[in-house]
Amino acid sequence: MRQVPTRFHDKDRRLSQPFRSQAATGISGKNGILLAIEKANGQAGRGRRKLELIVKDDGGEPQKAQDAVLELINRDRVVAVVGEMVNSRSLAGAPVCQQNRVPMISPASTDPRLTSVGDFVFRACYTDAFQGG
């Protein structure tokens, strides 16, 4: 089993989501994450730290997505990144997560190259090849 970097043990349980605030996929993704956090926090035992979501708007641009992920990791000290929803922005943020050993999961990025970035990058959907794309 992989050892979790020690910096994760001493801080709040912060999750992040870089997304485009004007896009329906970003809004629905954020709402889904908030529902899951609400449920998890409601089931958290006494004395356990609660999850918190930190959201950054990437304006729909890969460079801004990469910058947002870097800021979320270095300034906000998140323990995981949920997103991006779009291939180009996921591919921009994934190397930052991999280099910093912060898990990233994309709920909607189908580009097969995404998970080849490294062992800290995941997807929760089918790839383009499987979908016939």
Per the structure, how many domains does the chain have? 1
Please report whether residue 117 resides in a domain.
yes
Please report whether residue 2 resides in a domain.
no
Please report whether residue 6 resides in a domain.
no
Task: Look up residue 119 and give its two tokens.
Answer: 């062992």
DSSP 123: E
Please report whether residue 4 resides in a domain.
no
Q: What is the mean pLDDT of the chain?
A: 82
Please report whether residue 33 resides in a domain.
yes
Please report whether residue 100 resides in a domain.
yes
Question: What average pLDDT does range 33-50 have in this prediction?
Answer: 82
29 pLDDT higher than 60 = yes
Please report the pLDDT score of residue 24 as a whole number: 67
Please report the pLDDT score of residue 87 as a whole number: 93
| Residues 78 and 15 sit within 8 Å (Cβ to Cβ) | yes
The share of the chain scoring above pLDDT 90, in percent, equals 41
Please report whether residue 3 resides in a domain.
no
Please report whether residue 55 resides in a domain.
yes
Question: What average pLDDT does range 120-133 have in this prediction?
Answer: 85
Q: For residue 116, what are the domain limits?
A: 11-131
What's the CATH number where 22 sits?
3.40.50.2300
Contacts 24+ apart (CB under 8 A), 42-51: 49/12, 49/13, 50/13, 51/13, 51/14, 51/15
Residue type, 8: F
Please report the pLDDT score of residue 5 as a whole number: 45
User: Tell me: the pLDDT tens digits for 55-112?
Assistant: 888 888 999 999 999 999 999 999 999 888 889 999 999 999 999 999 999 988 999 9
